[in-house]
Structure 1
Amino acid sequence: MTDPIPVPPPEIRDYDLGESVGYLLARAKTSMSNMVTQRTLAELGITSQQASVLFMVASGKCLLAAELAREYGIDASAVTRLVDRLEKRGLLKRVRSSEDRRAVRLALTPEGEAIARRMPAIFTSVTETLAAGFTPEEVGFLKNMLRRVLANSCDASQNANAAAGQNPPANS
């Protein structure tokens, strides 16, 4: 005799996960990340996160480990491990700032820069695959909606910090 399958409570049973915006965004992000990783592992021998870090450093958007932690929403120790792996592979190096000896900037090696230069083509190819059948207007609309989601998340974070007595909003 088999054990009976437990029946979930109504608040779980009646929730349509497939209609959840959060679930759909998370699944889309996972699919995109997996597709980029398949390409970067096959073509470059690194993960999508490692390749993305190289690209962010090359673009000048994230030149400090703390900036990477904020951009990716991960803790400093995870960034340190990621940077350690890239440095060990000879793709990235830490450079002490001459102005502030406490600050350690990230810089690409020539090999890291070569990988970063290949990333836009990989990002574009994966995005085109995922957006197959979308009109240019639909892609633009999707980007605008995602920007609004991100802006709302920044506003929510600022409001939560202000409520907790940290970093009051800029317009206070």
Structure 2
Amino acid sequence: MTEPSSTPAPEISEYQLGESVGYLLARVKSTMSNMVTQRSMAELGITSQQGSILFMVASGKCVLAAELAREYGIDASAVTRLIDRLEKRGLLTRVRSSEDRRAVRLALTPEGHAIAAKMPKIFTSVLDSLLSGFTPEEVGFLKSMLRRALINSGECTAFARDAASSSGNKT
């Protein structure tokens, strides 16, 4: 058995992680998610992902489990587990479609709606903290660049349309 090397390969040691856009984006996403979870757990007793799912269902953007899986880039079984937890807590229900019996739509309970309605305030507060010191122009430029990156990914033609209609929002 070979001893593990204590010296990283040159391609690893020369890579400047702190200068990687991918690394920085991932760190910001992780930090933002942790901050939202801290607030949403303290105020609402739910995680950022649960609150975000409730918000997406309430907004009408994602009303099927498959839409949530696509939006969050997670597999269907993970979405099913999240939905199961939210349903068990009485925050959402599954409703079989009358037009297509195979389709199961998600609907919020009154308590789920109440929580979803509180999420924008939490999202905004966290983003205001993260973007403290940014000018409105810098925030607009950041959003524009992020939209372009999403469009370049090829999966976001509908996203570009949605973003154009909501371009006045800071968060």
TM-score w.r.t. length of structure 1: 0.87
CA shift, 1:53, in A, is 0.2
Mapping of 1:17-36 within 5 angstroms? 17-36=17-36
1:110 aligned residue: 110
TM-score w.r.t. length of structure 2: 0.87
1:164 aligned residue: none
What is the CA–CA distance in structure 2 between the aligned matches of 1:147 and 1:49, rounded to whole Å? Answer: 21
Alpha-carbon RMSD across the aligned residues, in angstroms, is 1.5
1:64 aligned residue: 64
3-state SS of paired residue (1:46): coil
Return the index of the structure with the highest Cα Rg: 1
2:48 aligned residue: 48
Q: 1:33 to 1:45 in 2, by over 3 A?
A: same
What is the CA–CA distance in structure 2 between the aligned matches of 1:29 and 1:155, rounded to whole Å? Answer: 19
Tell me how many residue pairs correspond in the alignment. Answer: 154
Q: Which runs of 5+ in 1 are unaligned?
A: 157-172
Mapping of 1:1-172 within 5 angstroms? 6-154=6-154
Q: Which runs of 5+ in 2 are unaligned?
A: 157-171
Greater displacement, 146-155 / 95-104: 146-155
Aligned partner letter, 1:87: E
Report runs of 4+ in structure 1 exceeding 2 Å deviation: none
Query: Identity across aligned pairs (percent)?
Result: 79
Deviations 1:25-70 (A, max 9, x none): 0000000000000000000000000000000000000000000000
Aligned partner letter, 1:76: A
